[in-house]
Structures are given as structure tokens and as C-alpha cells.
Amino acid sequence: MTDAETILIVEDEQQIREAVAMALGCEGFVVCEAGTARHAAVQAAARKPNLVILDLGLPDRDGVDFIRDFRAWSSTPILILSARSEESSKVDALDAGADDYLTKPFGIAELLARVRALLRRRQPDLQAAEPTLQFGDYLVDCVNRVVTRAGCVVHLTQIEYRLLAFLAANPGRVLTHRHLLTQVWGGQAAENHQYLRVYVGHLRQKVEDNPAQPRHIITEIGVGYRFQP
Amino acid sequence: MKLLQQPGETIAYLWAVPGTCLGSLLLSPLRHYVDLSNVALLYVLWVVLMAVTYGRGPAVATALLASLAYAYFFVPPHFSLAITEGQYLLAAVIMLVVAMMVSHLTSRLKQIADFASRKSIESTKLYQLTQELAGATTPETVIDLASRFLAVSYRASQVRVYMPSEFNSTSGQTNPALLNRCAERQELLSRPTSQGKFYALVPLMAGSGNQGILGFEVESAILGSQDAVEHIETVASVVAVALERSYFAEKARQTEIKHAAETLRNSILAALSHDLRTPLTALVGMAEAVAMGKVPVEKHRQTLDAIRNQAVSIGQQMTKLLDMAKLSAGKFELVRDWQPVEEVIGVTLQQVRAQWHDREVTVSLARDLPPINIDAVLIERVLWNLIENAIKYSPADAPVDLRVNAVGEEMEISVCDSGCGIPAKNGDKLFDLFQRGKSESGIPGVGLGLSIAKTIVEAHGGTIAARNRENGGSCFSIRIPLGNPPHFEEMDEPS
């Protein structure tokens, strides 16, 4: 990419907006700001940002509704900023199509890391030609449905394979329990959270060096899982 | 009450009238073998039997009929009411008088016995009511019990209690004038409603004055009976005393709650003023020092780091205050789910590592631990608080141990450190709000962590305990019931 990437910050608290804008500006991103959902919709349509940073507690509209409308026409990644009191709307927002979240107060270093991860993931055309996924010393061959670690085959069951392949295809993104269950098991299993926990447990046993302190399949407590390559 | 006795009375008069006639007719062929005086005694016996069984009315009827039958069937000339001999007439009259007297006496005795047994039932019921009222702690329960009692005993409907404060705003079954008059005169008042019923008002008088007025609708017959009215007034006085007591109990509880809230507010103020204002003062000081150019450039980085750490720490205290506010409002609901305990521990350790990069936390998990039914978000707060405490109160190079075991029907998670241990005098207060190991110490915190942990663990039906280790340091353990994990069917095939 030769052009600098554009990031839209939607946040009604001016101090947070300015702090985030300053940090992103220093990193070389083009930043545009909005304080309301209405202004954000106008900005998003006009500037076509590469990433949206969205505060869930907007004065004029529910953030989750904004995400639903936005997802109707754009697949641009969305990073949510949420206060601690908004636990449940965080999950709703992720289910509605947001990609990741940060809980206030957050550090700038962490924000930048998340932003970079989301922007990296946003360029699927670079990887589309390769039907393989790679992380650590693992290789997932999506054609032959085989997972190898440093050349040795890792024996996975069908569901474990589907789970791992889906996680690995969405690195850095927070996947809610519901999202994973509908993607891997199908819609009828959407509420069977313990199903998912058991299989994630199995998968960690086979993939992680220390299943109690995982490196790749990270638990986002009360929300879902995040895959870290 | 009269209506109810109707079928019984019909049977009584059936025995009295056709019974006497039929008996006499059947007995009449024996008139030559039985002495006339014995026949008279037989009739007296019959009258007594009737009096004992059915009371005065049927007995009097039987007596009259018996004298007639005696004269008709047995006194010569037979089958005629005419009595020729003077002594037969005397016998018939004596028989009638004796029969009347006996019937009168026996029926009175029966009345007294009936009255006594009714009174005994009433007092048993009243005693039961008193007992039930003794257990009632709120005015609502008292009123509810009284309503049920009146409904069962007197088939009263629309029972309610008018509080003195609502006398002047009442409408419907009664009106302010009637209520005020009832309260002034302190006696039962009533007014007719539809279908021959009456709406009665009884003042509820107790030691500390009028507790209100009891209103209910009953049949007019009940208010006409002196017995019933006296009984209702006794019930009213019992209810009044119970109401008075429940008001006092309620008042005492309110005062207690108010007192607890006051104490809590004072502790929060104390905690905020010391434990948050101190780091805030430092924060403002450092920021101003940098802004005014008092800090040499080479120390900027270091000062800014200190400012950041201080702010993060204040943020964490705020989180705890918010957590506690949410928990103590009592409205939080556990979002429980069966899950492996490793998952919660993994998340906690991840957070610990983010904050204390090189602090060593050793983990030992028992093998084959069953999944546990917990609210992961809240249990994570518990573990974080325990580990944070362990790290804060022990030397920087000492590892913190985290152990998970199944103990009987419970899962035990222990966090142990090798710090200074728990001072003996603080033992039982450890889990109270705003209690700190050392007040006014340099260790940041507001004394909420353990209190939060305790609230959450107890909401899970578990327990939390603290003890000192033998060779220095302390151990905090939580225990959560294992329960019965649902059977999980795996429908999976090798790929």
C-alpha cells in the first residue's frame, strides 16, 4: 500500500478522541473524527476508511444499531471501545459484525497493536491464492484438510479441524461463542456454549504447548475466543 | 346459622309427630298387659330421649302429642280423647308437666354444652391465629392472616385494614366520616350493603393507640349475634397488637438498614479520601513538575512512566469500587455455565502477566478436574483479586502459588504467598468492606478485593477462607460446589 490508510474514530468524549487521533497520527495513519453516529455515517460514506474505531456509548444512537447498518454496505473492520458497564452490549456488537474490542481504560500500545492486526487481516487478496494457513510452526492445508506441525501430522477430529481452520482464518479477531458455534456446528447449536468449551479444550491439548496458558487460542472471558498466530 | 339446621329439624319433627303416633299405635294392642302408669313412664322416657337428642321444640311437641296419644290409645274409653276418671286425667296432666320440665332442663343443658364446645372451638381458633400472628413480621402478613381468619370463621369478604393516614382519602365500601366516627367511639360500626349483607368496621386498638380500622362484609345475622360480635372484637384486639408489633419491627429494620448505609458511606468516603486522593495528588504533582520544566529532560521518560502506572492503578481501584457497588446493590445475576477451570485460570494469568511482567506464578492443577458451573467473568475477578493481593503483600522475588484440587464435593482453588502473613487480630474482619491488612500503609488499594471475592464466591454457593502458612506467608482458598456436570455426548469422527 502506497497511500496512508484512513482510520475513522467515532467517540463522543473529546479527550479520548484527541488522544487516540494523536497516537494514530504519529503512526502515519490519516485520521478522521466523528462525535455522533450521524456524523460518523456521513464520514464513513465520504472517506471510505480502512478501519473504524467505534465507541459503543454514543449520544444519538445505539452503537450496535450503527454496526448493523454499517455492515449492510461495508466489510471494513470495526474496533469497539467499551466501558466496563457495557459487558453485554459488547457481545451484541461483536455478534452484529464488529471485529475486536478494547475496554476503557486502555493503553495506546495495546490500541496500536489491535489496529495493526485488524489492518493486516483486511488484505485478503494477498492470501487468497494460497489455500493454506500458517501460524507458529503449524501449517493448515485447507485442500487436504491436514494440519502439520514442523512437518509432522497433527491428528484432529473433523470438528477440531473445522474449529482450528476457522479460528486460524480469522487471526486477531474476537470470535463470539455464538459466532463460532454457528460457523462450526451450524445455527441450531448457537446456544450450546459448553460444546464449544469442550472442543476448545481438546484442541488446546493437541495444539498448545501449555494448554492452561495458551499461546494461540486465547480466551476472551464472557465473550468468546481470539486466535493469535 | 338457622338455615344450616333446617334438615336436622325436619328429621326431629318427623320423629316427634309421626314417630309418637306410630309408636302409640304399635303399642296399643298391649294395653291389657301393661299397667297404665308404666305406659305413662314409657311416654316420659320417649320425651326425655327426644329432648336430649333434638332439644326443646321437638321435645315439647312430643310431650303434647304423647299426652294426647296416652289419653286416646290407653286411657279408657279407648280410641277416644274423653277421660272419665279423675285420676287418669291427673296422670295425663302430670305426665305432660314432667315431660315439659324434663325437656326444658335437658334442652338447656344441651344448649350450655353446645355453647361451651363452640366457645372452645373459637378459642382454639383464636389461639391458632395468635400463634400465627406471633410469627408475622410485616404488616402485610398480619393483615393477610386476619383476612383469612375472618373469611374462614365468618365468611367475611372484602377484608382490608384502613390505616389512620388513609382515613380521609377512602372511598368505595366506606367513607371518611364513618371511619373517623368508628375511631372516635372505639366500637363496631356497620352499614348495610346489597343482598342483606353488612359492611362492618372494627377499630384496631393497641397500647400505642389506634392502629387502623378493620373493615369487612358479612351476613347481617352475624352482626346480630352478641357472641359473634364479642369474638370479632377479641380478634380485632389481637390483630391490633400484632400490627403494632410488626410496625415496630419494620421501623427497627429500617433504622438498621439506614445505619448500615451510613457506615458504608463513611467507609467509602474514608477510602476515597485517603486511598485515591493520595495517588491522585502524586499524579498531579508529577504532571505539573514536567509541565513547568522542573524535571530534567533525561528524567521525562521515567516520570511519564510513573504517571502512567499511577493512573492505571487508580483505574483499577475505580473498577473495584464499581464492582463492589454493582455487587452490593444485590441485583447482579450469575451467568453460569459449565466450563473447564483451566480456562478461567488461563485468562487470569494472562492479565497478571500483562501487569507484572516478570512476577512468577506457579500453577499446579490436579489431573482430570471436572468442568465447573461458574460465572467465568466474576470468578476471574475473584482470582485476580487474590493473586493481586498475594503479589502486593509479598516480596517481589517470591513466587505466588496457585493450586487447584477437588476436595470431596467441592473444587478448591488456593492462592498462597510467602509474604508477611495475616495479622492475628484482623483474622475475622479480613473479608469486610474497606478492611486493609495495614491501614495507612504504602501499599496501594482501598480494601475491597477480598470483600468482592467473598461476595462472588458466596453467590456461587461456595466459601472463602484464609490461613497463615507454617513457614511464613498466607493462603487464601475458595471452594465451590462441583455439582453434577451434564453428560456430554461427542459426535465426532477422525478427519
Same structural domain for residues A137 and A220?
yes
Q: What is the CATH number of the domain that holds A177?
A: 1.10.10.10
Mean pLDDT of B389-400: 86
The type of residue at A29 is F
Q: Which of A125, A140, A169 is the last residue of a domain?
A: A125
Beta-carbon contacts of A184 under 8 Å, excluding residues fewer than 6 positions away, are A159, A162, A163, A166, A196
Verify that A39 and A87 share a domain, yes or no: yes
In a domain, B384, yes or no: yes
Within this chain, do residues B363 and B276 fall inside the same structural domain, yes or no? no
Residues B311 and B403 in one domain: no
Residue in chain B lying closest to A105 (CA): B315
Tell me what pLDDT residue A2 has.
46
Check whether residue A166 and residue A112 sit in a common domain: no
pLDDT class for B4, splitting at 50, 70, 90? very low
* Better-predicted residue by pLDDT, B337 or B194: B337
Stretch B33-50: mean pLDDT, rounded?
A: 83
- Are B106 and B30 in the same domain? yes
Can you give the three-state secondary structure of B327-355, one letter per residue? HHCCCCCCCCEEECHHHHHHHHHHHHHHH
Give the pLDDT score at B3. 38
Predicted confidence (pLDDT) per residue in B193-251, tens digit: 877 788 888 888 888 778 888 888 888 888 888 888 888 888 888 888 888 888 888 88
Q: H or E element: which one contains B135?
A: helix B86-135
On whether residue B296 sits in a domain, the answer given is yes
Q: A109 and A159: one domain?
A: no
Same structural domain, A109 and A25: yes
B310 lies in the same domain as B405: no
Residue B470 in any domain: the answer is: yes
Chosen domain end from A78, A103, A125: A125
- Provide the sign of the torsion angle of the four alpha carbons B243, B248, B253, B257, taken in this order: positive
> Can you give the pLDDT at residue B313?
82
B118, B133, B165 — which closes off a domain?
B118
Say whether both B39 and B59 belong to one domain: yes
Give the count of Cβ contacts less than 8 A between chain A and B: 73
Q: What region, left, alpha or beta, does residue B79 occupy, with left being phi > 0 and alpha being psi -120 to 50 degrees?
A: left
* Same-domain pairing of B318 and B360: no
Q: Which residues of B touch A194 (CB under 8 A)?
A: 337-339, 371, 486, 488
Q: Chain-centre distance of CA B143, in angstroms?
A: 13
Q: Are residues A111 and A134 in the same domain?
A: no
Residues B363, B302, single domain; the answer is no
Q: Which of A105, A157, A211 sits opposite B315 (nearest CB)?
A: A105
Question: Chain B within 8 Å of A197 (Cβ-Cβ)?
Answer: yes
Residue A80 pLDDT more than 90? yes
Average pLDDT over chain B reads 82
CA B294 to each of CA A114, B47, B281, B298, B302: distance values in angstroms, whole numbers, following the listed order: 36, 123, 17, 12, 14
Kindly list the residues from chain A whose CB atom is less than 8 angstroms away from the CB atom of residue B337. 193-194, 197
A98 occurs within a structural domain: yes
Contact B488 A194 (CB under 8 A): yes
Residue B426 has pLDDT above 60, yes or no: yes
B27/B68 same-domain check = yes
Domain count of chain B?
3
Cα Rg, chain A, nearest whole Å:
18
In a domain, B110, yes or no: yes
Residue B439, pLDDT above cutoff 60: no
Establish if A176 belongs to a structural domain.
yes
Provide the residue range defining the domain that includes B306.
Answer: 271-327
Looking at the structure, do residues B426 and B284 belong to the same domain, yes or no?
Answer: no
Q: Which of B308, B347, B372 to mutate to test the interface with A (most CBs of A within 10 A)?
A: B347
Is the Cα dihedral B81, B86, B92, B96 positive or negative?
positive
Please determine, for residue B54, whether its predicted confidence score (pLDDT) is greater than 50: yes
B 270-309 residues inside an 8 A Cβ radius of A: 308
Residue B330 has pLDDT above 60, yes or no: yes
Same domain, A118 and A135: no
Q: Which residue matches cell numbers 467515532?
A: A10
- A39 plus A134 within the same structural domain: no
Angle at which helix A37-47 crosses helix A63-71, to 10 degrees, equals: 20
Give me the percent of chain B exceeding a pLDDT of 90. 7
Q: Which of A163, A164, A194, A206 to mutate to test the interface with B (most CBs of B within 10 A)?
A: A194
pLDDT value of residue B442: 58
CB-nearest partner of B493 from A157, A198, A211:
A157
Cβ of residue A103 closer than 8 Å to a chain B Cβ: no
| Residues B275 and B350 both lie in one domain | no
Looking at the fold, whether A108 and A135 belong to one and the same domain comes out as: no
Of residues A67 and B114, which shows the higher confidence score? A67
Last residue of a domain, one of A69, A94, A125: A125
Residues of B in Cβ contact (< 8 Å) with A160: 492, 495
Cis peptide before B77 (omega within 30 of 0): yes
A127-144 residue pLDDT tens: 555 688 888 888 888 888
Whether residue B64 is contained in a domain is answered as: yes
The x, y and z cell numbers of residue B271, run together, are 477510602
The answer to whether residue A1 is domain-embedded is no
State the alpha helices, DSSP H only, in B139-225.
139-154, 176-185, 220-224
Domain extent for A42? 6-125
Angle between helices B86-135 and B139-154 (to 10 degrees): 160
- Residue of A84, A158, A211 with shortest CB distance to B342: A211
What's the whole-number mean pLDDT along residues A202-229? 88
Residues A142 and A74 reside in one and the same domain: no
Q: Summarize pLDDT for B269-285 with one digit per residue, the tens.
A: 776 666 777 778 888 98
Q: Which three cell numbers stand for residue B279?
A: 495517588
B296 shares a domain with B388: no
Residue A70: its pLDDT value, please?
Answer: 93
Angle between helices B449-459 and B376-392 (to 10 degrees): 150
User: Would you say residue B440 has pLDDT above 60?
Assistant: no
Q: CB–CB of B346 and A213 under 8 A?
A: yes
What domain count does chain A have? 2
In a domain, B294, yes or no: yes
Specify if A218 maps to a domain: yes
Q: Are residues B399 and B283 in the same domain?
A: no
A147-156, B27-36, B94-103, range with greatest mean pLDDT: A147-156
Q: Would residue B338 count as lying in a domain?
A: yes
- Closest approach of B391 to chain A, Cα-based (Å): 19
Residues facing residue A25 across a β-bridge: none
B358 to B17, B30, B479: CA distances (angstroms): 111, 124, 29
A62 falls within a domain: yes
Task: Name which of A79, A94, A98 is nearest A29 in CA terms.
Answer: A79
Cα–Cα distance for residue pair B27/B29, rounded to 1 Å: 6
pLDDT of residue B1: 35
Same domain, A108 and A80: yes
CATH number at residue B433: 3.30.565.10
Residues A75 and A22 placed together within one structural domain of the fold: yes
Location of C-alpha cell 389481637: B238
In a domain, B300, yes or no: yes
* Best A221, A223, A225 residue to mutate vs chain B (most B CBs within 10 Å): A221
Instruction: Report CB contact under 8 Å: B340, A201.
Output: yes
Query: Residue B402 has what pLDDT?
Result: 93
> Which triple of cell numbers denotes residue B70?
296416652
Angle at B308 between CA B303 and CA B313, to 5 degrees: 125
Hey, which of A22-26, A85-89, B319-323 has the most confident mean pLDDT?
A22-26
On whether any CB of chain A is under 8 Å from the CB of B249, the answer is no
Max CA separation in chain B (angstroms): 150
B87 touches chain A (CB under 8 A): no
Q: Sheet containing A30-34: give its strands across.
A: A30-34, A6-10, A51-55, A78-82, A100-103
Smallest CA–CA distance, residue A18 to chain B, in Å, is 17
State which amino acid sits at residue B262: E
At A19, which CATH number?
Answer: 3.40.50.2300
